[in-house]
Amino acid sequence: MTTLNDIYPTNDVDDVLQDWVRELIASTFRSEYKNSENLSATRVLVDADTPIQRFNCNGANRISQMPTPDAVNNHPFLVINSTSSGSYTLTLQNNAGTVTLIALNPSEFAFLLPDGNGGYFVINNPFSRVLSPSQVTANQNDWYPSGAGAVDVIRIDTDASRNFTGFGFAAAYKTILVVNAGSNPAVFKNEDASSTAANRFAFGADLTLASKQAVMMWYDPTSLRWRLVGGAGGSSGTVENLLLNSNFGQWTRRATPTSAVSMTNDAYNAPDCWYSLVQGAGATIARDTGIGNAQYAAKIVAGGTTNRYGIAQIRRSDVSIPLRGQSVTFQILLKPVNNAGSGTRDYRMAVLEWTGTADAVTSELVANWASATYTTAGFFASTTKTLVGTAAVTATHNTETALTVTGTVSSSCNNIIVFWWVEDVPTHASDYVLLSKPGLYQASAAQTWTPDLQEKAKTSEEIFLLTHSGVGRAESATMADVITQFPFMRGTPAASIQGTIKYRDLTGAATRTATTPSVNAFTAAQGGGYLEVNAASWSPANFTTGNMVALMCDAGNGILLTAEL
């Protein structure tokens, strides 16, 4: 029986046995035609080399270069980094050393096919080699679980929210898919000095990978950093801010937002979607110039030396319920300005959850302003509320200070509530504080705040000032109705008069102004409504029943529609 080694074809001219053996070997990838070699320097392959090359890096990172480009004699290679001791990489380059084809960690391989023109296509098997390390029970620096350098997918499981400051299995051009296979967040810290510089993440901001999410990372050999390619966490690692009116730019209730208004306890007279909680009287709130890179700030003036005051926001159930079991972070930037020109002030924030009927929240949060026991049995009202987390900061006069709190939402949460307040009473009635850049994030650490370009549209789901015209009919001498359109809202909104409203009698062509008007009845579907406006009288004359009328409002005046929780 003949075998591959028994006969050789000849051309009867100038046969060279070695050449023909090489041709035959190049046509097969049988294991006997392998070369196992311990490298001590850069290894340059030639066409006479066997197609299977197993290179041991032998105590250092090594380079192997492909054969001289040859459109005739170049053949395929299967190259394996067979290093068994250490995490040394094998980098494959073109023959000139000017192009890196791939970098292989120990046990990784590449199949290189000649393109017929002196180059090579590189083929390996991405995302088929998966590592599931043991559960992570502490924060990790230079994390390198056994076998990580030889896989494309790592499934992370943590016992709680854990930080990762760097991956120790960095290799040029390596791509890794990181999957959170556990039930707790994994946080990848941006440029954290706890890890070796070449193992750090350069994401622009911390990235929180929630349960069941995945993210792709690529190692940049020029900057020696892991880069974010894509996946959970949003564009460029940005996490969505779950608060409404997070730039304090919208004050629909105020024709002039920069004019101070008294804060009323448990009432929406603050920025849109934020309500006031106060102890005592005299505190005021207005819109002001922002701090940090924010356009606007909320300015709260003490108004007395026995007052405590704060603002809160309740998020809808469709936003809150998906946060069950997840870490959330509430953050805000503040700057106290004291009349004395010096000194400090203590501020506090909290995240609470409503466990009663969804979207039927009791908005009063404080049981005892004087209590220093920040639990639902002390400072906070306890009825169907649970404390997720609270934190405090002592801020210096005229100094921007960040305040952040993180906690885990329970499985009973139906609505999330965020609350910021001044913890100690002011020393002067004119003391004030500027607040900017509030944020609520599904994350276990503070996030980079960015304005939301869709924020006005989102806020209009809960508050909207109807100022445009609508056509209707005079139902009596003093009451007229109008059918009009407004944005989609969270639910059927409440209606109230803001400023002066006018009706125009389309038959008599007269503009009529209401005296002591009120919204007498309001029937609406989400996204449109039927209003009935009643008045003691209309000037210069009442309506003629049955005439067509049109609602007309001057700037800043109209019918205020609110659906805030």
Q: Which of 208, 212, 309, 243 is nearest to 450 (CA)?
A: 243
What separation in angstroms does the CA of 108 have from each of 32, 35, 103, 140, 181?
Answer: 20, 16, 9, 25, 24
261-453 belongs to which homologous superfamily?
Galactose-binding domain-like (2.60.120.260)
Tokens linked to 24: 């035959």
Asked whether the bond before 540 is cis by omega within 30 degrees of 0, the reply is yes
Tokens linked to 514: 């209401």
Q: What is the pLDDT of residue 486?
A: 64
Please say if the pLDDT value at position 319 is more than 50.
yes
Do residues 313 and 417 touch, judged by C-beta distance below 8 A?
yes
Task: Give the confidence band of 36 by pLDDT, cuts at 50, 70, 90.
Answer: very high
The b-or-e profile of 387-404 (16+ CB within 10 A means b, else e) is bbbbbebebebeeebebb
Q: Report the alpha-carbon distance of residue 565 to residue 315 in Å, rounded.
A: 8
| Residues above pLDDT 90, as percent of the chain | 39
The average pLDDT across 55-82 equals 90
Looking at the chain, the number of H-run helices and the number of E-run strands are 3, 39
Q: Which CATH number fits domain 17-123: 2.60.120, 3.30.70, 3.90.550, 2.60.40?
A: 2.60.120
What separation in angstroms does the CA of 353 have from each of 66, 324, 383, 414?
Answer: 62, 10, 11, 7
Higher pLDDT: 98 or 84? It is 84
Question: 0.85 exceeded by the pTM?
Answer: no
Do residues 187 and 328 touch, judged by C-beta distance below 8 A?
no
Q: Diameter of the chain by CA atoms?
A: 120
212-226, 375-389, 433-447, 480-494: least confident range: 480-494
Q: How many residues does the chain have?
A: 565
Q: What is the pLDDT of residue 233?
A: 41
Higher pLDDT: 81 or 562? It is 81
Q: Which of 118, 66, 62 is nearest to 96 (CA)?
A: 66
| Sheet containing 463-466, strands listed edge to edge, beginning at the edge strand earlier in sequence | 463-466, 558-562, 494-498
Please say if the pLDDT value at position 495 is more than 90.
no
Do residues 185 and 327 touch, judged by C-beta distance below 8 A?
yes
Q: Where along the chain do the CATH 2.60.120.260 domains lie?
A: 261-453
Q: What is the pLDDT of residue 175?
A: 86
Identify the bridge partners of residue 558 per DSSP, sorted by sequence position: 498
Q: What is the pLDDT of residue 79?
A: 92
Q: Report the alpha-carbon distance of residue 542 to residue 353 in Å, rounded.
A: 51
Contacts of 360 (CB under 8 A, 6+ apart): none
| Sheet containing 120-123, strands listed edge to edge, beginning at the edge strand earlier in sequence | 34-38, 52-56, 77-81, 109-114, 120-123
Q: Where along the chain do the CATH 2.40.30 domains lie?
A: 460-562
Higher pLDDT: 530 or 223? It is 223
Q: Could you tell me where the beta strands, DSSP code E, fall in 467-554?
A: 471-474, 479-484, 494-498, 501-505, 510-515, 518-525, 528-534, 537-539, 548-553
Contacts of 248 (CB under 8 A, 6+ apart): 271, 287, 290, 294, 296, 297, 298, 435, 436, 438
460-562: in CATH 2.40.30: yes
Q: Which of 538, 544, 543, 529 is nearest to 468 (CA)?
A: 529
Q: What is the pLDDT of residue 72?
A: 81
Q: Report the alpha-carbon distance of residue 447 to residue 239 in Å, rounded.
A: 7
Q: Which of 311, 365, 351 is nearest to 443 (CA)?
A: 351
Tens of pLDDT, residue by residue over 241-280, are 899 899 998 888 887 899 999 999 999 887 988 999 999 8
Task: Give the confidence band of 235 by pLDDT, cuts at 50, 70, 90.
Answer: very low
Tens of pLDDT, residue by residue over 435-475, are 999 999 988 778 888 766 666 666 666 666 666 556 778 88
Task: Give the confidence band of 417 by pLDDT, cuts at 50, 70, 90.
Answer: very high
Q: Report the alpha-carbon distance of residue 386 to residue 372 in Å, rounded.
A: 17
Please say if the pLDDT value at position 215 is more than 60.
yes
Please say if the pLDDT value at position 18 is more than 60.
no
Do residues 351 and 330 touch, judged by C-beta distance below 8 A?
yes
Do residues 496 and 559 touch, judged by C-beta distance below 8 A?
yes
Tens of pLDDT, residue by residue over 334-355, are 999 999 899 999 999 999 999 9
The average pLDDT across 478-507 equals 71
Higher pLDDT: 472 or 426? It is 426
- Classify 361 as helix, strand or coil: coil
105-114, 295-304, 392-401, 424-433: least confident range: 105-114
Task: Give the confidence band of 19 by pLDDT, cuts at 50, 70, 90.
Answer: low
